[in-house]
């Protein structure tokens, strides 16, 4: 017999070997980022836990994945209440344990109590979800980092990347574990600038996110004199680095090529520390391909409890897929 228990937090040992595991999920939950309600489903068979599925609920604007333009503005007021398996801040969705059709249907039945639309965010293309619509998600760029990464690059690429790094040579670079309290508000201010200039705005992080996630993070800071003008939040294990969030002073970023510098300094840390993979995070794909990243496809699944609405959503599924401009 299958039973589903809904709990507030993921277990601490969820994805225990991943920097984006239970500790991070709990930190994000404590931050109470606006727009999201987080929870976790524990699926049990005969009293034994067989699957753990983090989820969140939100109102999803239909124009989320659309490029700026008239249609995006026209659809700006339309949103759907949705329950998603996955995490707002993780590009890859995870269910730990069994992912059989029986388990997934038990999860779906519980989520339908919370929202008329159920979705799975950032999974592979093989989930056993009957009558769900499947759409292409944002690919995740992952770079394999070898000790001789720079030497193995083509001469033209290496020269270009070194030139980009040189633009920031006059700045002071600092690397710290955690987030010093005196930098908290400035980090959030720079994040807001970057968020306001992003083509996709799925979430709006608050100050508490950076406070709560500090203990599991490493930060890179760029200073012009005594003023921080760029940061990069990183989460690392011995095997992989996750590039979480970047913030920049947009009055300075182009002159110093801050985005490229922050990304390339992350590569240098991986080389130094023997970390063999970087998950660069979604968007800005041209540069991430340029440095050698491989694109890992993801898929999003959705189903409305009304068969009629579900059929309409299937015809409108292009609204939930990334546009060509977002994949560049």
CATH of the domain at 241: 3.40.630.30
What local confidence, expressed as pLDDT, does residue 235 receive? Answer: 98
Percent of the chain residues topping a pLDDT of 70 = 94
DSSP 102-154: HHHHHHHHHHTTT-SEEEEEEE-TT---TT-EEEE---EEEEE--TTHHHHS-
Percent of the chain residues topping a pLDDT of 90 = 84
What local confidence, expressed as pLDDT, does residue 63 receive? Answer: 61
- Closest to 141 in 3D by CA, of 296, 307, 255: 296
Residues 70 and 13 reside in one and the same domain: yes
pLDDT tens sequence across 312-323: 888 878 777 777
**22-50 average pLDDT score:** 97
Kind plus residue range of the DSSP H or E element containing 171: none
Task: Work out the pLDDT band at 72, boundaries 50, 70, 90.
Answer: low
CB 326 within 8 A of CB 200: yes
CA 191 to mean position of chain CA atoms: 15
Largest distance between two CA atoms of the chain: 65
- Residue 162: which domain range? 141-294
Measure the CA–CA gap between 11 and 29, rounded to whole angstroms: 12
Residues 114 and 32 reside in one and the same domain: yes
Buried b (16+ CB within 10 A) or exposed e, 3-19: ebeeeeebbeebbeebb
Task: Work out the pLDDT band at 200, boundaries 50, 70, 90.
Answer: low
What local confidence, expressed as pLDDT, does residue 313 receive? Answer: 84
Residues 105 and 159 reside in one and the same domain: no
Per-residue pLDDT at 177 exceeds 60? yes
How confident is the prediction for the chain on average, in pLDDT?
93
Per-residue pLDDT at 61 exceeds 80? no
Residues 183 and 247 reside in one and the same domain: yes
- β-pair type (277-279, 218-224): unpaired
Residues 11 and 71 reside in one and the same domain: yes
Residues 122 and 250 reside in one and the same domain: no
What local confidence, expressed as pLDDT, does residue 107 receive? Answer: 98
Residues 124 and 13 reside in one and the same domain: yes
Cβ neighbors of 68 (< 8 A, separation 6 or more) are 199
What local confidence, expressed as pLDDT, does residue 326 receive? Answer: 72
- Closest to 243 in 3D by CA, of 326, 143, 176: 143
CB 254 within 8 A of CB 160: no
Residues 174 and 227 reside in one and the same domain: yes
Residues 157 and 255 reside in one and the same domain: yes
- Closest to 230 in 3D by CA, of 264, 186, 200: 186
What local confidence, expressed as pLDDT, does residue 68 receive? Answer: 62
**Greater confidence, 198 or 276?**
276
**Token digits for 69?**
């333009």
Per-residue pLDDT at 71 exceeds 80? no
Q: What is the CATH number of the domain that holds 304?
A: 3.40.630
Q: Which residue has the tokens 């989930």?
A: 127
Task: Work out the pLDDT band at 103, boundaries 50, 70, 90.
Answer: very high
Per-residue pLDDT at 193 exceeds 70? yes
- β-pair type (2-7, 37-45): antiparallel
Residues 67 and 106 reside in one and the same domain: yes
- Closest to 227 in 3D by CA, of 169, 181, 186, 263: 186
CB 53 within 8 A of CB 40: yes
CA torsion sign for 211, 215, 217, 223 is positive
- Closest to 186 in 3D by CA, of 214, 216, 212, 210: 210
Structurally, the chain folds into a number of domains equal to: 2
What local confidence, expressed as pLDDT, does residue 179 receive? Answer: 98
- Closest to 89 in 3D by CA, of 285, 233, 290, 278: 233
Residues 83 and 169 reside in one and the same domain: no
What local confidence, expressed as pLDDT, does residue 320 receive? Answer: 74
Side-chain half-sphere CA neighbours of 304 within 13 A: 14
Residues 150 and 289 reside in one and the same domain: yes
**247-262 average pLDDT score:** 97
Q: Measuring CA to CA, how many Å separate 47 from each of 9, 51, 101, 141?
A: 19, 12, 19, 39
pLDDT tens sequence across 259-307: 999 999 999 999 999 999 999 999 889 999 999 999 999 999 999 999 9
Measure the CA–CA gap between 70 and 163, rounded to whole angstroms: 38
Cβ neighbors of 9 (< 8 A, separation 6 or more) are 25, 26, 29, 38, 40
Task: Work out the pLDDT band at 66, boundaries 50, 70, 90.
Answer: low
Per-residue pLDDT at 92 exceeds 60? yes
């Amino acid at each position: 017999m299958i039973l589903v228990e809904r709990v507030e937090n993921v277990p601490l040992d969820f994805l225990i070997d991943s920097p984006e595991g239970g500790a991070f999920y709990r930190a994000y939950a404590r931050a109470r980022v606006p727009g999201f309600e987080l929870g976790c489903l524990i699926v049990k068979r005969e009293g034994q836990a067989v699957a753990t599925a983090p989820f969140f609920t939100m109102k999803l604007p239909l124009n989320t994945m659309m490029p700026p333009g008239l249609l995006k503005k026209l659809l700006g007021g339309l949103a759907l209440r949705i329950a998603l398996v996955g995490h707002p801040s993780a590009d890859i969705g995870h269910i730990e344990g069994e992912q059989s059709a029986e388990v997934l249907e038990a999860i779906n039945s519980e989520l339908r109590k919370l929202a008329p639309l159920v979705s799975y965010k950032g999974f592979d293309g093989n989930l056993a979800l009957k009558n769900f619509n499947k759409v292409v998600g944002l690919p995740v760029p992952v770079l394999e980092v070898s000790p001789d990464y720079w030497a193995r690059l083509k001469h033209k690429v290496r020269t270009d990347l070194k030139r980009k790094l040189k633009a920031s040579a006059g700045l002071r670079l600092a690397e710290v574990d955690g987030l010093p309290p005196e930098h908290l508000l400035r980090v959030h201010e720079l994040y807001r600038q970057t968020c306001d200039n992003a083509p996709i705005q799925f979430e709006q992080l608050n100050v508490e996110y950076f406070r709560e996630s500090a203990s599991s993070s490493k930060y890179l800071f760029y200073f012009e004199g005594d003023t921080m003008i760029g940061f990069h939040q990183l989460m690392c294990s011995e095997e992989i680095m996750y590039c979480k969030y970047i913030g920049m002073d947009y009055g300075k970023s182009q002159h110093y090529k801050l985005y490229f510098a922050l990304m390339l300094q992350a590569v240098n840390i991986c080389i130094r520390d023997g970390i063999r993979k970087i998950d660069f995070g979604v968007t800005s794909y041209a540069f991430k391909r340029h440095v050698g990243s491989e694109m890992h496809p993801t898929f999003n699944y959705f189903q409305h409890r009304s068969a009629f609405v579900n059929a309409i959503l299937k015809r409108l599924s292009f609204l939930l897929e990334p546009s060509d401009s977002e994949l560049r």
